[in-house]
Amino acid sequence: MTDFFAGIDPVTFDPNAADDLSYRHYDADELVMGKRMEDHLRFAVAWWHSFAWPGGDPFGGQTFERPWFGETMELAKLKADAAFEMFALLGQPYYCFHDADIRPEGADFAENTARLDEITDYMGQKMEAGGPKLLWGTANLFSHRRYMAGAATNPDPDVFAFAAATVKTCIDATKKLGGENYVLWGGREGYETLLNTDLAKEREQAGRFLCMVVDYARKIGFDGTILIEPKPQEPTKHQYDYDVATVYGFLKDFGLEGEVKMNLEQGHAILAGHSFEHELAMARALGIFGSIDMNRNDYQSGWDTDQFPDNVPEVARAYYEILQAGGFTTGGTNFDAKLRRQSLDPVDLIAAHVGAMDVCARGLKAAAAMIEGGELEAARAKRYAGWDAKADLLTSDLGAIAARVEKEGINPRPASGRQERLENILNRYV
């Protein structure tokens, strides 16, 4: 037991609360489209931003003072204690971690593995004592200097080997803790300059690496979902997993489109020049939607600012796509979001999550109402209705179509896209 969150009570649902540490909209048991809100949203807290991030920026270092900062296993356990204390206050059903968030870096692979085993045993006990479940685990293959030129895509085969061995241990740990997904975000899987890069070779390495991940996970009976988290740049100038469409091409190339799904992050979509809902809709269209990292990016900075979500209309459009994709199965809403570096107090961490969960709850409810209202989908269906009678065009050929256009006197009449009217409908819900 730490005293880090001393004086803060468990957060409860109270729509009329006077303080800022109550859920005003997130009522875990409220039914939305016949399903409990908790089961729709499947909230997860991210270990890295909440407990491992020191509050630095490119111009200054640590601002946060946390009693668990340091490189010993004892401190790693203290960090875990505080994490599970926060989970108990928030009552969210899941959490997520990287290996590097939960254990200090060891001298070599063997020590890393031993430490990972020890800390995940410790966390496992806390989970059994009523803590949240594990939404996903992942390996941090981007912070340590050995990965500066990539992990799977490194020109040095020893780095490839170290990364592969590390991922093996992280899949083992994720399985041990009952994780429902395993995530791969290729932070350094890209390049800075083509002058020193064999792009085709690196792509092949990344493909083989991913095949091995899938094979190993299946071999040990990990029945969770393997997820890739696309991101276009940052830290590397060009990343190979730019966006959903790019990753899909990559999966097809290596025969993995039926094995791997997407973990989509709002901020990454923005960096790729897309909206979050575009990425969600694309994943749905391709049958590879999996999970989300819910944050928001600053629209001016061009950087993955990982802020807690605060924009209900945006979040509503995201959940609208998610609901239409059938909702989450093994996936969930992971807050890959961090405090601003001036938000020093323990209570800031609680308030950030409470606010974000309320924003998501409002977004989900608005999205459900949009679906139940049905006007938007009816308008969309109407727009394509002409195809009902002419679906055979898609299996015809140009010569036959030309003859048909002439014979039937087909002469298209443009129709309104009704965008403003649809936006007006949307705005009634949000």
Binding site for ligand XLS (CB under 6 A): 98, 138, 183, 185, 229, 231, 265, 293, 304, 336
By a kind-dependent CB cut-off of 5 to 8 A, residue 172 interacts, out of ligand XLS, Ni ion, none, with none
d(CA 133, CA 220): 20
Q: Which of 101, 241, 336, 358 does the annotation list as catalytic?
A: 101
Rule CB under 5 A: say whether 241 interacts with Ni ion. no
Which is nearer to Ni ion, 202 or 336 (by Cβ)?
A: 336
d(CA 28, CA 228): 28
What is the C-alpha end-to-end distance of the chain, expressed in Å? 42
Rule CB under 5 A: say whether 101 interacts with Ni ion. no
Rule CB under 5 A: say whether 304 interacts with Ni ion. yes
Which is nearer to Ni ion, 100 or 366 (by Cβ)?
A: 100
Please, which of residues 326-345 interact with Ni ion by CB under 5 A?
A: 336
Which is nearer to ligand XLS, 119 or 228 (by Cβ)?
A: 228
By a kind-dependent CB cut-off of 5 to 8 A, residue 138 interacts, out of ligand XLS, Ni ion, none, with ligand XLS
What is the gyration radius of the CA atoms in the chain, in angstroms?
A: 23
Phi and psi, residue 141, nearest 5°: -110, 40
Nearest distance, CB of residue 170 and ligand XLS, angstroms: 11
Looking at 202, 243, 265, 279, which residue binds Ni ion (CB under 5 A)?
265
- The answer to whether the peptide bond before residue 235 is cis (omega within 30 degrees of 0) is yes
Q: Which of 98, 274, 278, 353 does the annotation list as catalytic?
A: 98
Nearest distance, CB of residue 338 and Ni ion, angstroms: 10
Nearest distance, CB of residue 268 and Ni ion, angstroms: 6
Place of tokens 């490189």: 71
As to burial, measured by CB atoms within 10 angstroms (0-12 exposed, 13-18 middle, 19+ buried), residue 219 is exposed
Of 162, 77, 69, nearest in space to 113 by CA:
162
By a kind-dependent CB cut-off of 5 to 8 A, residue 284 interacts, out of Ni ion, ligand XLS, none, with none
Closest residue to ligand XLS in the complex (CB): 185
Nearest distance, CB of residue 111 and ligand XLS, angstroms: 22
Q: Is 101 a catalytic residue?
A: yes
Provide the pairing of β-strand 190-191 with 238-239: antiparallel
d(CA 198, CA 200): 6
Nearest distance, CB of residue 124 and ligand XLS, angstroms: 21
Cα 359 → chain centroid: 17
Which is nearer to ligand XLS, 202 or 293 (by Cβ)?
A: 293
Provide the pairing of β-strand 94-98 with 133-138: parallel
What separation in angstroms does the CA of 416 have from each of 80, 413, 424?
57, 10, 15
Nearest distance, CB of residue 99 and Ni ion, angstroms: 15
Place of tokens 């997904």: 181
Enumerate the active-site residues.
98, 101
Contact residues toward Ni ion (CB under 5 A) are: 265, 293, 304, 336
